[in-house]
Amino acid sequence: MGHLKLQTQTGINAIEEEPEQCNAGYPNKTTVACMINAEIGAVLAVMRRNVRWGVHYMSDDDQLEHSLVQSLKALRRKIFLWRNQWHAINPALYLRPFLDVIQSDETGAPITGVALSSVYKILTLDVIDQNTVNVGDTMHLVVDAVTSCRFEVTDPASEEVVLMKILQVLLACVKSKASAMLSNQHICTIVNTCFRIVHQAGTKGELLQRIARYTMHELVRCIFSHLQDVNNTDHSLVNGSAALTQETRQLGNGNLNSANGSQPLSAHIASNASSFVSATTMDENTHIASDGKEADPHELHLMSEPYGVPCMVEIFHFLCSLLNVVEHMGMSPRSNTIAFDEDVPLFALTLINSAIELGGSSFRHHPKLLSLIQDELFRNLMQFGLSMSPLVLSMVCSIVLNLYHHLRTELKLQLEAFFSCVILRLAQSRYGASYQQQEVVMEALVDFCRQKSFMVEMFANFDCDITCNNVFEDIANLLSKSAFPVNTPLSSMHILALDGLIAVMQGMAERIGVGSVNSENYQQVDLEDYTPFWIEKCENFNDPDHWVPFVCRRKYFKRKLMTGADHFNRDPKKGLEFLQGTNLLPDKLDPQSVACFFRYTAGLDKNLIGDFLGNHDDFCIQVLHEFARTFDFADMTLDNALRLFLETFRLPGESQKIQRVLEAFSERYYEQSPHILANKDAALLLSYSIIMLNTDQHNVQVKKKMTEEDFIRNNRRINGGNDLPREFLSDLYHSICKNEIRTTPEQGAGFPEMTPSRWIYLMQKSKKTSPFIVSDSRAYLDHDMFAILSGPTIAAISVVFDNAEHEEVYQSCMDGFLAVAKISAYYHLDNVLDDLVVSLCKFINILDPSLDDEPVLAFGDDIKARMATETVFAIANRYGDYIRTGWRNILDCILRLHKLGLLPAHMASDAAEELYAETGHAKPNANTLSSIHLQSSTPKRSSGLMSRFSQLLSLGTEEPRSEPTEEQLVAHQRTLQTIQKCHIDSIFTESKFLQAESLLQLTKALISAAGRPQKGNNISEDEDTAVFCLDLLVAITLNNRDRIGLLWQGVYEHISTIVQSSVMPCVLVEKAVFGLFKICQRLLPYKENIADELLRSLQLVLKLDARVADAYCEQITQEVGRLVKANASHIRSQLGWRTITSLLSITARHPEASEAGFDALQFIMSDGAHLLPANYVLCVDAARQFAESRVGQSERSVQALDLMSVSVNCLAKWTSDARKAMEEEQVGKMLQDIGDMWLRLVQGLRKLCLEQREEVRNHALLSLQKCLVGAVGICLPHDLWLQCFDLVIFPVLDDLLEIALAQSQKDYRNMEVSLILALKLLSKVFLQLLPDLSQLTTFAKLWLGVLSRMEKYMKVKIRGRRTEKLQELVPELLKNTLLVMKSGGILVQSSVSTGDGLWELTWPHVNNIAPALQSEVYTEQDSEHLQQKQVETAGGVGPEENVSAHSKETVSQDGAGVG
């Protein structure tokens, strides 16, 4: 039923016998009776003061009291006799005597006042509620009595007291538990009465004025607080107007008659008594309904029901009508006094604001209330929004903010109009607004911006709607411009605008991660075919999956249309062609599409539109008529329709064009509003007449103005031969005279004033516009919004931060920077983030030592620099993934801090874990800044913060220094805290989490910051910086081992440049070389794919200048040793091993480095642990060099020889493994490789067999023997053994013999022993290989070579005499050899002597050595036996024949080896 739901209570229990107790929430029965009795006594006491109320004596001497006194006394007698509980007693019984006193016109103000107080006290006793007997009638009685209160005014003070008590009682009625029983009519009467007292209190005292306004305010709050409890139906008044009784229908004019037709309040009290002034400024037009209209019985019934929506509609309409006071008085709100401007409107606005605050979103469920807000209220808000009064303007903004919160879905176009025509207009001084107005508007705008979804909804609903203004962009531009202090000091307005920008940014930042949707998914709008942009529809405005792509598509249309407008304004033809190219207009233009382009595209030149529409071309005429059809003139007066039509283009000056334009307008107007006009010709003629009247009235050159009669006379018989109604024409005349129709409308977007015609059009448009899109907390459109806002916001924050002087503003700016950074990172806008970093870094220039003698102190004292430093590093740590060129600026800041000694010393040592693990120390906390961590990387410079600070504490030898002041101590402490908060080291230690592109940019920035050293310079221009950057570069490389391929090229080139440009030892080249080793050592276990490349980089060490290499040789060797020991199993390629062995080999002759180098080589070769086919030859060569070196004495050479000799076991093992695991072809290849390795091994030993040192020489011969004898298991091919004899064994014997003959004993001691060892080696190897070698065709040659060496050794003379040991050894060895050959059937006498057989070739040499050997070895019996054996094998070819057949080569006399 549209009224309040009655909140009935459960049963009421009887009052218990104990008098002190109450039951069911009611007061004690006796207590209430006593209270009422006291009130009766109080009223009677006051009445007795006046003789009028004394005792009257009749003629019969009977006493007769006044009826008022009698009723009070009668109540007094009964009150203690009632047995029922108070809720069961009709309240009228004990209230009526008081109400009679109040209504009596005989009582004076004091008596009435006491009676009102009594009623108020009874109402507040909680004895009357919804369950009380006859409560409804009682409440009606109270309201009727109080609103029709009469009393005799004796003095102003007592009159004001009565009025205040009337207000008190009425408010108590509405606030009481029984208020739900009041009818709609009574609520209206209460409000009417209170307002009249408010109005008339203007002539009374200040206290009454304030109480009256307070009461009115409380009434409205109390009434509208129940709107949410009203049934969700609308049984308010029908037919759009209130059909109340006469007194209720006139709420607007102060006519406060009571329901029973009695006289108005305080009227006709006494002939000489003063009465209230009933004059009011409001016109009869403010009546809610026409006085002449008959009341509808249904509406009367509604008004008598318990109060609900009907009375709220009336009250709200009444409050809105108060805002029309100025209009009806013919006053402009900008031309009146502040006093009047603020009084009535401000009071009405305050009440309206309270109603909206308490009614909230419930207004939307009641069409009548909602309609009042949409039209009448908002129209007045638009008017008073331009008020000169800051109070009024502020209240208007507060109301709109409340409406936005509760009802924005119902007020889409109203909100757009308010922002465009009020907020954005007043906020700019060019429209004539005062500074106070601008400030109030800016505060309001910032309040809106603080609403999380406000800017999103502005963008979605208006900026993405082709028929609406770009409210979001306009607000963004306003805020960014207003935040810039241009040639003026920073003011509160600038900071306020900045707060708005930052609020918007923080809103976006908060939406990130809350179920965020990347709007880029919706950004791709591809128009392959022509699409009529004005008929785009959305299936569901409540579903983001539908409305987000819809608004993105509309925004795309709008942008293209704006671009098309720019082209059109320069050349209409090219503009249309551009839109055809974007498929927003069809390839073949049609009138409707062009008309919609003109109608809905902002920024078009209205002169060009007018010329196009007025053109006589058939197509242009069709466009004109389609253009007219885009307007909705329904229910609009002709002049307002014409105003609206002519605002969209400039009416052409030629009469024919004007006629064509007006014909199209008239046709459209007549279609939609045919009520008065007979036909479209009548509309055309009247339109012409209006244009002429407009020119006549508003052209200064026309001296004689057209009168109303002239206008009516000029329009006779134009309505189908009949006259138009005179009132109709008169209204048109006055409307045109009052408001000019501008035939040259304003160009550009701008912020126009709201005119009546525009408002009418807005209300019509609101019925058809798309629904208001309500955004949730997800970031649907933030990408596009941020693209518009980011640049201006960064610039504005930077400027304000630069000019600000208060810490609160600084912090606000930093919050803004962080919000921008967060959004930029989320949308991967690295260019925005780079700009942000650049802007921030310029505030850290204070760290430049050249700007201040004590930059550390200056930094500690400069809160701006410290906050900027904290913020820039917070951004670097949180959002480094999306920083690109900004890394260079960040590094500049880091380098400044480093130069001042403000960074932890271990910040750049990425390998701290390893180093400290090896030494057994705990790793220091890199984030802790202390005196330990603040040592400089260069020992000559003490630049740590604590060391610098200690300088202040120390006393110099030359002049005494004062101790630091307390301020300096505090400044240093602040500096420490700031650097700790920055976590600068995390940028590099956490660089493994950076995205690839950002990481690459960071390394490039480091390399660039380090500078490029020039060849020949001792150190670079700033070695300290270069060293620091190199440390950081190495740290980053080590932290990004999984992405070494991305970084390696740049890192290697940088280190290479340093290494090759250094000619003297310095810290930089030291860091470069050992950084390179560190990288290799850490990455080799994980990156086998680039192991060769890493190891190849170590060849840079071989390119070091000799002086540099010599200085660091020992440390380099130690690093190589560590590298090998840790990663030997990961080095597999020959290239890698070549680098390692090269580095080890060069240390063989270095005094300090050789020990470490040999230690590393031993690790590789001992037991063949890390020997591989890939490194075998390289390691053998390196071992040979260590054996040849005299740095480590003979002992090390002997150890090196042992390494070489033992390595032959690896060859044997590889041979065995190959035969087991490989296929035949692979085995052959492997065996060939092994043979080559073995040959290199014995060749290396051959050289060492000629060593000058006796111990080394002899050990080399023994080692060679081991390698030759041990090679049997390798299964070397025969030709390789022949090579071995030719290249190794024979040359060893020959060279040793030559040395023994040519060199002095002093240089080569005990050569005899070496010759003996060599001869034994020859004999042993020959005999071991004899069975295989004897089968070769070249065996004879080999055998002769052996014999010739023995013969030479037999004849050798050392120091002029033959040695006994050789004289004994040679025959013995030869005899053993001949016996073996004899037993094997290799050396036998042939039956046929050819002269060149083995037998014949052997004995001449043997006889030269020991003539008796033949007879000792070969007896006659042996010869006969052998001959007999040969005869038995006749037909076959014996070995000796085989040998002799192929032994026709010339053998030299000395038996030289096989050639």
Residue 634's CB is within 10 A of a number of other CB atoms, namely: 12
| 324 and 21 Cβ atoms separated by less than 8 Å | no
Chain center to CA of 236: 51
Q: Rounded to an integer, what distance in angstroms lies between the CA atom of residue 319 and that of residue 350?
A: 10
Dihedral pair phi/psi, residue 230, rounded to 5°? -75, 145
**DSSP label of 419:** I
Dihedral pair phi/psi, residue 595, rounded to 5°? -60, -40
Length of the chain: 1459
**DSSP label of 1008:** H
Residue owning tokens 């100025």: 326
End-to-end CA distance of the chain: 130
Residue 28's CB is within 10 A of a number of other CB atoms, namely: 17
| 1372 and 1323 Cβ atoms separated by less than 8 Å | no
Q: Rounded to an integer, what distance in angstroms lies between the CA atom of residue 76 and that of residue 36?
A: 8
Beta bridge partners of 108: 152
Residue 866's CB is within 10 A of a number of other CB atoms, namely: 23
Residue 1155's CB is within 10 A of a number of other CB atoms, namely: 18
How buried is residue 977: exposed, middle or buried, by Cβ count under 10 Å (0-12/13-18/19+)? middle
Q: Rounded to an integer, what distance in angstroms lies between the CA atom of residue 993 and that of residue 1119?
A: 29
Which residue in 114, 220, 135, 123 sits closest to 169, CA to CA?
123
Which residue in 287, 310, 293, 359 sits closest to 186, CA to CA?
310
User: Is there a catalytic annotation at residue 1440?
Assistant: no
Chain center to CA of 1356: 94
**DSSP label of 463:** I
Three state DSSP letters for 792-855: HHHHHHHHHHHHCCCHHHHHHHHHHHHHHHHHHHHCCCHHHHHHHHHHHHHHHHHHCHHHCCCH
Residue 19's CB is within 10 A of a number of other CB atoms, namely: 11
Residue owning tokens 């640049």: 791
Q: Which two tokens stand for residue 716?
A: 């006779």
**Alpha helix ranges (H) inside 512-571:** 520-523, 544-570
b/e 1041-1054 (16+ beta carbons within 10 angstroms → b): bebbeebbebbbeb
Chain center to CA of 367: 43
**∠ CA 551-557-562 to the nearest 5 degrees?**
125
Which residue in 181, 87, 191, 193 sits closest to 138, CA to CA?
181
Q: Rounded to an integer, what distance in angstroms lies between the CA atom of residue 238 and that of residue 310?
A: 10
Q: Which of 654, 967, 1053, 1416 is an active site residue? A: 654
| 1354 and 1303 Cβ atoms separated by less than 8 Å | no
* Inter-CA distances, 1045 with 646, 648, 883, 1040, Å: 69, 64, 21, 10
Q: Rounded to an integer, what distance in angstroms lies between the CA atom of residue 311 and that of residue 249?
A: 11
b/e 897-922 (16+ beta carbons within 10 angstroms → b): bbbbbbbbbbbbbbbbebeeeeeeee
Q: What residues are annotated to the active site?
A: 654
